[in-house]
Structures are given as C-alpha cells and as structure tokens.
C-alpha cells in the first residue's frame, strides 16, 4: 500500500501554493492561513497513516539536501532574496526543521508509532548475548 503523503503534497498542496503565489493571492492573510492549514492537514494525514515509505523518505532527504545546497549557492552568488542575513538564516532553519521532521518519519517512529525499533533491539540483544563467547573463543 502506498502512503498518501507524496501524492497529497504534489497533487494538492504544491499546486495550490504555486498558483496562490503566482496570482498574488499569497499576500492575503486568509489565503496564507488556508495554505498553512492545508499543509498541516497533509502532515496530519502522514502521521495518522503510520509514516511514509522509506523510498519516499530517501527521496525527500535528497531533495532537502539539494535545496540546502541551492540556498547556500544563492547566498554565495549574492541573490537578491538572500542577501539579507536574517532571511538566509530563516531559510536554513526552515530547511533544517524540514530535514529533522523527514528524518523522524513525520513523527511516526519506525512506522509503528513506537520509540523502540524491534529489529534493532533483537540484534542488540543477540549481539551482546553471544559476543563474549566469540571473543573468549578467539583468545584461547
């Protein structure tokens, strides 16, 4: 089963935000509030659905890394929008917050809404249980 986050972002929220910006509607506080509300609703769907597939997470991480490199390059090229130090830092903070949220799988820890990763715990337990025997067997 595919997760609804990526289609909702690219087929619903991103076109709404793009056309609102291009038509000049994004200047109105009501339209900005609706766009922010739609973005929060998309995130709520992602959290409620048990997280995003790891393939999409890897692609989002790659996109965020590219966006960060692009912002840094624009600052280096002295682009008009990022010449102000405050805007530049705000852009980097927003990208860092997005990267942290994607890294945590939209707060759906390990897809099961738990802080414990069962697979990791099993390997940690088995590794520590049998590690001492393998070390002493090599020393003898």
Q: What is the pTM of this model?
A: 0.54
Residue 69 has pLDDT above 90, yes or no: yes
**Inter-residue contact 87 to 81 (CB < 8 Å):** yes
The Cα–Cα gap between 124 and 115 comes to: 15
For residue 134, the model assigns a pLDDT of 52
Helix (H, G, I), strand (E, B) or coil at 116: coil
Model confidence pLDDT, tens digit, residues 3-47: 666 667 777 777 888 888 878 887 888 888 888 888 888 777 766
For residue 1, the model assigns a pLDDT of 40
Query: To the nearest 5 percent, what fractions of the chain are helix, strand and coil?
Result: 80, 0, 20
């Amino acid at each position: 089963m595919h997760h609804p986050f990526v289609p909702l972002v690219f087929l619903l929220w991103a076109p709404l935000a793009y056309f609102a910006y291009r038509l000049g509607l994004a200047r109105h506080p009501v339209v900005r509030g609706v766009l922010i509300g739609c973005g929060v609703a998309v995130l709520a769907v992602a959290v409620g659905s048990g997280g995003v597939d790891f393939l999409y997470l890897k692609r989002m991480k790659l996109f965020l890394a590219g966006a960060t490199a692009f912002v840094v390059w624009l600052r280096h090229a002295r682009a008009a929008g990022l010449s102000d130090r405050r805007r530049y830092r705000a852009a980097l903070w927003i990208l860092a917050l997005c990267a942290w949220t994607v890294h945590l799988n939209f707060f759906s820890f390990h897809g099961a809404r738990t802080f414990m990763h069962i697979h990791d715990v099993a390997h940690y337990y088995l590794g520590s249980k049998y590690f001492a025997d393998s070390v002493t067997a090599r020393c003898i």
